[in-house]
A and B are shown apart, each in its own frame.
Chain A
Amino acid sequence: GENVEQHPSTLSVQEGDSAVIKCTYSDSASNYFPWYKQELGKRPQLIIDIRSNVGEKKDQRIAVTLNKTAKHFSLHITETQPEDSAVYFCAASFGDYKLSFGAGTTVTVRA
């Protein structure tokens, strides 16, 4: 199958704390794993991505890790801020043209 499982579905964190979202995928041939952020009423936008030949990637307060053996990848947001509140989607590539998305995680950062 071409499944991407994402957990948790909702996450509430105190401002300044870290947030972690985890995803698993079903196809060992998947080689591209992007993360998207969707603010209320807006389009999903890419925030970070990782390819299968890399184990970890960081961009300022966000980082993604990939464990190919276990077929899971995670998004880490440090020092969370109110503007980090949004729905976050993980995705995995299946074949050359398909990107399947997880069900999304609603992150709420409490001030």
Chain B
Amino acid sequence: DTAVSQTPKYLVTQMGNDKSIKCEQNLGHDTMYWYKQDSKKFLKIMFSYNNKELIINETVPNRFSPKSPDKAHLNLHINSLELGDSAVYFCASSPGTGGSTIYFGEGSWLTVV
């Protein structure tokens, strides 16, 4: 059973398009995240949601809009894709507060051409 699953795994799209990545966790966790990993392998937090509420937004361009319909799902919609958006996007979840282990999904490889 996959604990944190995200789709699609691979996505190649043209500049200017709009795309979405979906994420679901079956761990019963309260907190979900989106991380971006660039070509230099740096893992940077983008958003964090706790029980469907946005709690962290790390100066991400407003072309990126997360949505959490319930605490088990956190989707990421990206408008007007740019070349610099090419990266691996990891969804993750954790039990919640006070410093908790984060469990990552398998990643979504986004290539903008």
Residues of A within 8 A of B (CB): 30-32, 34, 38, 42-46, 49, 51, 87, 89, 91, 93, 96-101, 103-104, 106
Contacts and interface: CB of A to CB of B under 8 A. Distances in A.
Interface of B: 31, 40-45, 48, 50, 55-56, 90, 94, 96-107
A97 B101 contact: no
Contact of A43 (B56, B90, B99, B101): B90
Nearest to B91: A43
B50 A97 contact: yes
Given A44-B104, A51-B99, A97 B48 contact: yes
A44 B50 CA distance: 21
A100 B98 contact: no
Given A43-B90, A43-B107, A101-B42, 14 more contacts: A31-B98, A43-B104, A43-B106, A46-B102, A49-B101, A51-B99, A97-B50, A97-B56, A98-B45, A99-B94, A99-B102, A100-B45, A101-B44, A103-B41
7 contacts: A44-B104, A96-B99, A97-B31, A98-B56, A99-B99, A99-B102, A101-B42
Contacts of A32: 98-100
B99 to A, nearest CB: 3
A97 B97 contact: yes
Given A43-B90, A43-B104, A98 B48 contact: yes
A94 to B, nearest CB: 9
A31 B55 CA distance: 19
Contacts of A43: 90, 104-107
Nearest to B4: A43
